[in-house]
Structure 1
């Protein structure tokens, strides 16, 4: 059967092109301004650079101290992701296979953690972290992000595990394996698609978060990239080339991570919704 090219198809294509342009325009402006000197940026900010320069990136790297900030963001993000995957996947395995009132109640409790905004508890959480002596430390940030993102992680994993046949784990249990062994050796390897989704969605949130690191790490040697870029903008606001070069350097690692894991995002999220 041949598909006819209709005016409606043409209109849909125009809409998609317009949406693509709307999403790509900020990226174009960001990269273009980062490659211009102050004179070019002031004369023609949105035109393609006639004489592109990479000096902005070198200056932004040294003046904003982005090297240590990138290291700090990487440590916080990686440790938080490890904790979220380990705790979230195992908790979801219990909730997905526990057909009792306790399992259902705990699952509803995790869902409430998604609905309620964490900003409501910022002051008590800040006092708690301060009383534990974790202000300005990686441990405090990892603990905070693990608690905040755990409900969302459990939600994704639970839906995906419910869509998996329970016979895989049952076979391992019949062979004498315990629940921990059955999960780590049999179930968890099957969670690769949803694990990719959990990785990228949580990584984007943690890497780009500004308010929490500003509150818990501001003024310390462990400031993350968004905090350092903010300080950089305040100090060198007159030179837009340095500002946008710093933003490009800050966004590059998480963009690369998304490109590597993008095929898992939709696949894992859609599979999780089936449950």
Structure 2
């Protein structure tokens, strides 16, 4: 009897490992490049030239100082923070209200609007950038941060509305009906009752929007030309051509670029998976 139990226990253990194996492989594939990025960024140029993949014997913080002081990295960092923060605020303000209207629409129109937003996930928004550039040029929004912010908000709305709508369809109507009985209007009901329930999805939307906007290069290439308006992806390209012979400093610049997004994900990670699955599966 004990032998049978032991075999059953081993089989269950092997099955657990088999289920975790893809996640382990994926984690290694993500972490190893990040570790090499970090290790190279704190090495001297001579040590890197002698053994590029060796573990650093000394940690050269001066590489980060050099990366920050050379080129347009500081102003690009500030511009990217402004664009990313404003885009997140815009998406988080507009998407829940649009999704709330779609989820609670009693006629057929709600489904039509929902399909309209879902099409935004299928058709790449980059196809419309030439037309947007002409429209923005007429409105004086080219080579401005507000112009890029408007584009990023529009690009982020389809996925955000999709996730919010899926989650809102699972929220019981009884909560809103009770608020209406107490005399609350639709806006107050949404702000006081519904929106606080959306925190997991909101955290997911914040992370996805931040990653997309922070790393975006195409929109910045289209709309920004003045060096003072550059974002980090644009500044990083110029930085690499400026000091192409100093790889550790270039890697330090890369660490500066990706560090804020990594910190944001670590802070909000406990909401990320639940918000993504609840919003997508129920949609």
TM bracket (short chain): over 0.9
1:155 partnered with 2:147? no
1:116 partnered with 2:114? no
Contiguous gaps of at least 5 residues in structure 1: none
Which residue number in structure 2 is paired with residue 213 of structure 1? 220
Inter-CA distance 165–218: structure 2 relative to 1 (3 Å threshold): same
Question: What CA RMSD, in Å, does the superposition of the two structures yield over aligned residues?
Answer: 1.8
Matches of 2:16 and 2:113, distance apart in 1: 47
User: Which of 229, 234, 238 is matched with 2:245 structurally?
Assistant: 238
Matches of 1:133 and 1:262, distance apart in 2: 39
The answer to whether the Cα contact below 8 Å between 1:38 and 1:241 also exists between their aligned partners in 2 is yes
Which residue number in structure 1 is paired with residue 146 of structure 2? 139
Matches of 2:164 and 2:22, distance apart in 1: 35
The answer to whether the Cα contact below 8 Å between 2:216 and 2:233 also exists between their aligned partners in 1 is yes
Contiguous gaps of at least 5 residues in structure 2: none
| Residues 1-275 of structure 1: pairs in structure 2 closer than 5 A | 4-6=9-11, 7=14, 16-272=23-279, 273-275=281-283
Inter-CA distance 58–266: structure 2 relative to 1 (3 Å threshold): same
The answer to whether the Cα contact below 8 Å between 2:117 and 2:162 also exists between their aligned partners in 1 is yes
Q: Which shows bigger deviation, 8-17 or 140-149?
A: 8-17
Q: Which shows bigger deviation, 64-73 or 262-271?
A: 64-73
Q: Which shows bigger deviation, 251-260 or 2-11?
A: 2-11
SS at match of 1:5: helix
The answer to whether the Cα contact below 8 Å between 2:129 and 2:222 also exists between their aligned partners in 1 is no
State TM-score, norm by structure 2.
Answer: 0.92
Inter-CA distance 124–256: structure 2 relative to 1 (3 Å threshold): same
